[in-house]
Amino acid sequence: MSAVRVLLLGGTGEARALAARLVDAGVDVTSSLAGRVARPRLPVGPVRIGGFGGVDGLRATLRGDDGYDLVVDATHPFARGMSANAVAACGAEDVPLLRYERPGWPPSPRWHVVGTHEEAAALAARLGRRPFLTVGRQELARFTGPLRDHAVLARVVDPPDVDLPTAWTLLTSRGPYTPEGERALVEAHGCDVLVTKDSGGSFTWPKMQVADERGMVVVVVARPEPEPGVQVTHDLDEAYDWVVSRTRR
């Protein structure tokens, strides 16, 4: 067993995959989840759940008696608050940090790529009548105003905290999804616009495929820029090697 302790900021399938490989290799890795979803898929190995309490809380966690020597931030590409805190806390505590970010989807010239959820909401309101909204529970409040009178199908993992317009249909479900399932869903609801963020990965790709097939308008919220000053990889093998090479000195 390695003496080097690794904190893996997770909440993604890739983080779970990395945790499994590291545990297998005998690395002392603890996965951290935000505790946002009611029934999270748990990674292999030790898990802690809940926020750290900002940068100061994370700094205290890193240097505590059961502190950490390395941090891998494998949170979702849009989980920018956690990534920023990791950069600040690891910098202040001199703990090596690697950001693993799942690659984005290969862009299509058909997509309307926008920089913010607000732009996505305005565009979807203009370009469609029956949007399929798959931006995540935490972003829904940005869409309720502009899409108040649209027949929105909003799909989320857990129900949102905000009240949704009466014209909307809420669907709670969790991927991975299949092209057959997505086809049946958008047909049943007559969706004419797909709104998504560039989450990347294969779990939620089938909706992109089906939207393309059906000639739906596709509005994609682009990823924010990575935090400056952090080493980033899009390759899970590279992330694994980064950790293992630092635990076997």
Place of tokens 């240097």: 63
56-65: Cβ within 8 A, 24+ apart: 58/85, 58/86, 58/89, 59/89, 59/92, 59/93, 61/7, 62/7, 62/89, 62/90, 62/93, 62/95, 63/93
Q: Give the integer Cα–Cα distance in Å for 110 and 181.
A: 23
Q: Toward ligand NAP, which CB reaches closer, 25 or 60?
A: 60
Quick check: 176 binds ligand NAP (CB under 6 A)? Answer: no
Cβ 219 to ligand NAP, closest distance in Å? 16
Q: Which of 70, 71, 82, 123 binds ligand NAP (CB under 6 A)?
A: 82
Grouping H, G, I as helix, E, B as strand and the rest as coil, residue 33 is strand
Q: Which of 78, 100, 111, 143 binds ligand NAP (CB under 6 A)?
A: 78
Q: How many CA atoms lie within 13 A of 39 on its CB side?
A: 5
Cβ 48 to ligand NAP, closest distance in Å? 7
Window 107-146: contact mask with ligand NAP (x via CB under 6 A): -----------------------------x-x--------
Quick check: 85 binds ligand NAP (CB under 6 A)? Answer: yes
Window 23-62: contact mask with ligand NAP (x via CB under 6 A): ---------xxx-x--------------xxxx--xx----
Q: Give the integer Cα–Cα distance in Å for 149 and 140.
A: 15
